[in-house]
Structure 1
Amino acid sequence: MRERGRTRRLMGLGARTGGALLKTRLGGQADWRALGEALFEGLSELKGPAMKLAQMMSQWDDLLPPDLADELARLQRQAEPMPWPRIHEALVLQYGDIHKYFTEIEERPFASASMGQVHKAVTLEGETVVLKVQYPGLADVLESDLKQVRRIIGLGRWFKVSQARLDALFEELAAGLRDELDYQAEANALARYRERYQSDSRIIIPKPLFELSGQHVLAMSYVPGTPLRELEGADDTVRQKVATTLADWITQELFTHGELHADPHAGNFAADEQSRLIIYDFGAVIAVPEARIEAMMHLLSATLDHDPMAMDDALVNLGGRQGQGAPLALYRETAESVSPLFEPGEQDFSDVRVHRRLRELSPKVWAAMDRLQPPADTLLLSRALNGHYWNLVRLKARLDMHARTAPLFECVARR
């Protein structure tokens, strides 16, 4: 009964979303704020794959209607937690007698997400730890939820996104969600990253507690910090220090280790009292092949050179362009919009003029979707990079991207 109820609610939300998209496609004006409120309320309660998809969409706030983006963004910071009795079920399923392991578990979570929520606890030895608890029954309903998510993603056909690209987006999302349910893999990723960055004093990664972890609960050391989304009003020195560390870390991940943290949800990052970057969640880490990085750097180089033909060639190599004829005027506008962030000297990521120009490009990108297509095998990578970019925007970062990218271009050229 519970699963059928979830399916009906997801179908209803999908139908409402489809109605708004159809109204827009026919030239009408959809009430994006009302749709966003309905999606927030419904998905916040249901959790799971559809909520994850909405969180992903909210990170593309340069493409979504502003009212819809604002409401979906609430899912990253205000999602309703699952009631304690349900979480208690998952804890009992994992530990049996909870009191054999903990003297106290806080019933109120200090973080809640699409697939689980985090509770603070105290072990019998008096150590404060955090427990990432998987929502009970989520694994059982995952596949039926994904069927509804596939239908929602299928609405992209109305915006000229090819079925092959939509299928690729779904498969990438589905694989990522299945991976997120594997808490053993995440514990191993925590351990690997702690070892990788043990000599970098600017980065803090919680320690996985394998003896307290299992299929339904991931236990790790408690590392207090101020969430990234709450740093927007922090002292400028703090924000710039955290932003610089974040940018350095992303660069090192891509160009040294060939990996990327693929869930740039702002709640997954924080800063401690020494302005060190804390990275909490490693449920989504993707491999980035060297050839893919080189192809993306060629596209960036062509963009900064304001060379639309080279941009088109780079997109073809990426698998991101199809059909006859390239929208050269759109390439030129894109180059004019992106290039200011890479001019010599410090550039302000909070410069609203850049975001305004990117937002103004969105309708033109959608209109050219019969020729421009998201590369099928880089959808998750593109989303992750976009999300990390917006985290830098939230921090009001000031970075010299020209100086940062110059050695990267040289590195790619030498390969």
Structure 2
Amino acid sequence: MAKKPVTSRSGRFFKLAGMTASVAGQYAGQKARSLFSGENDEGARSESYTRMANRITDTLGEMKGAAMKVGQIASQTQDFLPREFSDALQKLQKEAPPMPFEIILEQIETELGKPVGELFEYLQEKPYAAASIGQVHRARLHDGTDVIVKVQYPGVDESCDSDLKQLRLALKLGGLLKMPKESVDQLFKEIRERLREELDYENEARNIALFREFHKSDPWVVIPSVIPSHSTRHVLTLILEEGDHVSEVTPERYDQATINLIGHRMFKTMADQLFRFQCIHGDPHAGNFAYRPDGSVVMYDFGCVKKLKPEIVEAYRNAVTAALAEDYKALDSYLIDLGARVGSQPAIDEAYYAMWRDILVVPFDSEQPYDFGESSIHKSVAAKTSTVFKYLDSFKPPVESIFIDRMIAGHYWMLKRLGVQAAFGEELRKYLAESSTI
């Protein structure tokens, strides 16, 4: 039997407080054991981390809302938390269990001010999709228009700040935040701002209009349009635009040439948003993209959009250009501009930069198509993550560009799952050579 969802602010607080107390207790116990044994048992610490990670993951998955969203972001940010947590939090990337339908109906009627029967010809009870802060139901307007209705879970908006404070406290008391307080402050401020925007569906409607304008010359980019009469801050109704989930892109319906075309188009949308529009879709996971056999790419969910500062885009452009050219002195300088390198620390050994460059630029370093389906870049990165401890004082999470990194990582996994075979080096160099004032 499914647990009754926690929607009240006080209920959420006590649920998260219980999680925090449990994590803090486990951390204190692990520290005490290592103190009395006089040993730093890596296996015991990893086991303790795993228990804490599972407790946090289970609680966040049940809670939904801001806390679950932060967990999703953390799972994609490898330098934010120990590996055991990143691994456990991957579970939050999967679809969340749905909210009971009667709660959804009540939320729609409260927000739109009319009975559901007056608003829609029908509203499907089974969710079209369920996520961290809301779920989507298929419906039809009385004029016959097929739509989807995105409904925010009650209590999520009002509990955002409280959720974030509790989650931060849990991570701190669990000894899990491997960053200076200043960096933690910046990171949580950035996450809070993005979440505040994402919790406002009127803001998402404006973002949709913006991205439809961005991609108006790309007929193969499909972005659902908004039905204003059926939308508010917590309910968003959109024209139904269907496509195939990445798991449905199979050889029976998509030949390799079409998959490669989709790959090039996805790379173009990503590069256009980063270098030309300086405004990126900040939540690039498999559930927010769909595909059609004609090579079209359908994009969903514009709640998390990051408008980039021109100087950050320029620093990113310069850093990538320097890395490709193996100019590591310049790369070091541009990483300081980007906020990723602590400028007061000594210059980094060029061999360290060369190691990461040789791993990360492989898809762009040859004129021959790169087979993303067979890619092991993520494994090579994981194998080298221990090397960051040598330079822990020299680097910090680049808060201003964290969503750029998230976008690129998300696209890497989609290109891998699609099995794209493409050479992006020439396309990338064209974007890098453009003036940032476009």
Task: Judge same fold: TM > 0.5, yes or no.
Answer: yes
Q: Does 1:278 align with 2:284?
A: no
Residue correspondences, number = 415
Q: Distance in 2 between matches of 1:316 and 1:13?
A: 37
What secondary structure is seen at the aligned counterpart in 1 of 2:399? coil
Q: Distance in 2 between matches of 1:152 and 1:246?
A: 37
Q: Aligned residue for 1:315?
A: 335
Deviation at residue 363 of structure 1 after TM alignment: 1.8
Gaps of 5+ in 1: none
Residue correspondence of structure 1 range 333-352 to structure 2 within 5 A: 333-345=355-367, 346-352=369-375
Change (3 A) 1:231 1:152: farther
Residue correspondence of structure 1 range 136-147 to structure 2 within 5 A: 136-147=154-165
Q: Aligned residue for 2:42?
A: 28
Q: Aligned residue for 2:347?
A: 326
Q: Aligned residue for 1:374?
A: 397
1:105 to 114, 123, 127: 123
Deviation at residue 177 of structure 1 after TM alignment: 0.8
Q: CA RMSD in A?
A: 2.9
Deviation at residue 14 of structure 1 after TM alignment: 4.1
Give CA deviations for 1:231-258 in whole Å, capped at 9, x if unaligned. Answer: 4777434432322211111111122222
Q: Does 1:54 align with 2:103?
A: no
Q: Distance in 1 between matches of 2:84 and 2:345?
A: 35
Deviation at residue 103 of structure 1 after TM alignment: 2.2
Deviation at residue 225 of structure 1 after TM alignment: 1.4
2:281 to 261, 265, 289: 261
2:420 to 374, 397, 405: 397
Q: Distance in 2 between matches of 1:253 and 1:296?
A: 13
TM-score by length of 2: 0.85
Q: Distance in 1 between matches of 2:24 and 2:265?
A: 41
Deviation at residue 34 of structure 1 after TM alignment: 5.1
2:223 to 205, 215, 218: 205
Residue correspondence of structure 1 range 129-168 to structure 2 within 5 A: 129-152=147-170, 154=172, 160-168=178-186
Q: Distance in 1 between matches of 2:202 and 2:182?
A: 32
Deviation at residue 337 of structure 1 after TM alignment: 1.4
Q: Which amino acid aligns with 1:301?
A: T
What secondary structure is seen at the aligned counterpart in 2 of 1:220? strand
Deviation at residue 325 of structure 1 after TM alignment: 2.1
Q: Which amino acid aligns with 2:65?
A: G
Q: Distance in 1 between matches of 2:329 and 2:214?
A: 40
Q: Which amino acid aligns with 1:122?
A: R
Q: Distance in 2 between matches of 1:17 and 1:303?
A: 40
Q: Distance in 1 between matches of 2:376 and 2:17?
A: 38
Q: Is the contact between residue 153 and residue 170 of structure 1 (CA under 8 Å) also seen in structure 2? A: no
What secondary structure is seen at the aligned counterpart in 2 of 1:344? coil
Q: Does 1:170 align with 2:188?
A: yes
1:361 to 384, 387, 407: 384
Q: Aligned residue for 1:239?
A: 259
Q: Is the contact between residue 60 and residue 387 of structure 1 (CA under 8 Å) also seen in structure 2? A: no
Deviation at residue 326 of structure 1 after TM alignment: 3.3
Deviation at residue 63 of structure 1 after TM alignment: 8.1
What secondary structure is seen at the aligned counterpart in 2 of 1:255? helix
Residue correspondence of structure 1 range 280-319 to structure 2 within 5 A: 280-319=300-339
1:4 to 10, 27, 42: 10
Give CA deviations for 1:191-210 in whole Å, capped at 9, x if unaligned. Answer: 23223323322111101000
Compare 7-16 and 280-289 and name the one that shifted more. 7-16
Change (3 A) 1:63 1:5: closer
Give CA deviations for 1:71-98 in whole Å, capped at 9, x if unaligned. Answer: 4333222311111122122112123311
Q: Distance in 1 between matches of 2:242 and 2:421?
A: 26
Gaps of 5+ in 2: 1-5, 35-39
Q: Is the contact between residue 79 and residue 397 of structure 2 (CA under 8 Å) also seen in structure 1? A: no
The alignment-based identity, stated in percent, is: 31
Q: Distance in 1 between matches of 2:89 and 2:178?
A: 23
Q: Distance in 2 between matches of 1:19 and 1:28?
A: 19
Q: Is the contact between residue 139 and residue 147 of structure 2 (CA under 8 Å) also seen in structure 1? A: yes
Change (3 A) 1:403 1:115: same
Deviation at residue 340 of structure 1 after TM alignment: 1.9
Q: Is the contact between residue 271 and residue 431 of structure 2 (CA under 8 Å) also seen in structure 1? A: no
Compare 259-268 and 143-152 and name the one that shifted more. 143-152
Q: Which amino acid aligns with 1:348?
A: D
Give CA deviations for 1:86-132 in whole Å, capped at 9, x if unaligned. Answer: 21221121233111111211111121111111001111222221000
Q: Distance in 1 between matches of 2:390 and 2:19?
A: 26
Give CA deviations for 1:236-289 in whole Å, capped at 9, x if unaligned. Answer: 344323222111111111222221111112211111342310011111212223
